């Protein structure tokens, strides 16, 4: 297998091409239609989306979940979709690799170090973090820069509830997050696909916004390894690469962090990464998307459909320049 180095790797180089996706959709529908014809039209063309009961029976269930008023009422993607089609380069460059190889990740014991411009820095274990606020289920859209999307029933609580415990000072203008680096647990880190560790950041007002979720589970269970166990971000109005996984370090800082994909290819990936269908990626359109499980493409919504809640954060900004 050809492995590209960080200097020349682009996100599109390691994800399915648009033409391939369309061809695969066509073949899937054609195959299903053939089955229906062979059974005199009695067979279903598409498999129905599984309910929340179709999950991992060995996973820890999360009880007493509140329903969030922030949730969309759109149809959920299946548990299989959500756990077998992932970007998580620490386990490989193919979408199926995390589901195959993330069993090497050990989400317990796990601690998160908090530091920087705050009054109460320290290291905190995941068991305590999960108890700091009531857990709730939030059904959010996920939009990835490669023009595919999902609807995911996340579990967690507002990131603001986590951050305010550390008493950030007036100098804390941004929050920086880092993923675990451990080649034994994350074998993809033996390859120089990216500069490890994976780094992301948010402006403080973005981090404290009530939509920004500290993700601790999905589908009523603790996070599967391939989805960022045991702790991740979910920032629903931004492209998926902003929602960093398997977090081990949080730092309050004065200046804008250099996030991984901006460092990787600054001409194509910026710090803000707000979903803006009016601004094309240099090599493909962002005006439409393919929802996993659907044949036809759909129009991409500004801020991924969360504009009423978050547009005010960017009042006066040039959203074409600040991509």
Q: What is the pLDDT of residues 32-86, one digit of tens each?
A: 333 333 333 322 222 233 334 447 888 899 999 999 999 999 999 999 999 999 9
Quote the CA–CA distance of 252 and 168 in Å, as a whole number.
7
CA-closest candidate to residue 138, choices 83, 84, 73: 73
Preceding amide of 27 cis, omega within 30: no
Judge whether 217 and 62 are in contact, CB under 8 Å.
yes
Query: How many CB atoms are closer than 10 A to CB 134?
Result: 10
User: For the whole model, what pTM was predicted?
Assistant: 0.84
Q: What is the pLDDT of residue 34?
A: 36
pLDDT digits (tens, 9 = 90+) for 233-258: 999 999 999 999 999 999 999 999 99
Q: What is the pLDDT of residue 313?
A: 98
Torsion from C-alpha of 217, 196, 199, 112, nearest 10 degrees: 50
**Domain residue ranges in the chain:** 14-46, 59-314
pLDDT digits (tens, 9 = 90+) for 171-230: 999 999 999 999 999 999 999 999 999 999 999 999 999 999 999 999 999 999 999 999
Encoded tokens for 131: 């108890």
Quote the CA–CA distance of 263 and 242 in Å, as a whole number.
13
Fold (CATH) for 59-314: Sulfite Oxidase; Chain A, domain 2 (3.90.420)
Instruction: Read off the pLDDT of each residue in 279-287 and give the average, rounded to a whole number.
Output: 87
List strand residue ranges (DSSP E) for the chain, in order: 66-67, 111-116, 122-125, 136-143, 148-158, 174-179, 199-203, 213-218, 221-222, 232-234, 247-253, 288-291, 298-299
């Amino acid at each position: 297998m050809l492995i590209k180095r960080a200097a020349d790797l682009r996100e599109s180089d390691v994800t399915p091409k648009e033409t391939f996706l369309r061809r695969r959709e066509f073949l899937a529908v054609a195959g299903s239609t053939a089955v229906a014809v062979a059974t005199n039209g009695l067979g279903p063309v598409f498999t129905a989306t599984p309910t929340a009961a179709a999950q991992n029976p060995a996973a820890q269930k999360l009880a007493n979940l509140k329903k969030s008023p922030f949730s969309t009422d759109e149809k959920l993607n299946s548990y299989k979709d959500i756990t077998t089609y992932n970007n998580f380069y620490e386990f490989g460059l193919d979408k199926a690799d995390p589901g195959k190889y993330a069993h090497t990740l050990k989400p317990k014991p796990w601690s998160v170090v908090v530091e920087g411009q705050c009054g109460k820095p320290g290291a905190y274990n995941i068991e305590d973090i999960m108890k700091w606020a009531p857990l709730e289920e939030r059904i959010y859209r996920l939009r990835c820069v490669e023009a595919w999307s999902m609807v995911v029933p996340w579990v967690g609580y507002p990131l603001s509830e986590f951050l305010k415990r550390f008493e950030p000072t007036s100098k804390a203008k941004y929050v920086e997050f880092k993923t675990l680096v451990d080649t034994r647990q994350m074998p993809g880190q033996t390859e120089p696909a990216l500069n490890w560790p994976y780094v992301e950041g948010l402006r403080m007002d973005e981090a404290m916004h009530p939509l920004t979720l500290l993700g601790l589970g999905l589908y009523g269970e603790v996070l599967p390894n391939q989805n960022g166990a045991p702790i991740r971000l979910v920032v629903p109005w931004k492209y998926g690469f902003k929602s960093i996984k398997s977090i081990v370090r949080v730092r309050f800082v004065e200046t804008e962090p250099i996030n991984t994909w901006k460092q990787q290819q600054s001409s194509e990936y910026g710090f803000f990464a707000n979903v803006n269908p009016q601004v094309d990626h240099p090599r493909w359109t962002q005006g439409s998307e393919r929802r996993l499980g659907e044949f036809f493409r759909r129009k991409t919504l500004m801020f991924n459909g969360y504009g009423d809640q978050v547009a005010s954060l960017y009042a006066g900004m040039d959203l074409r320049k600040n991509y």
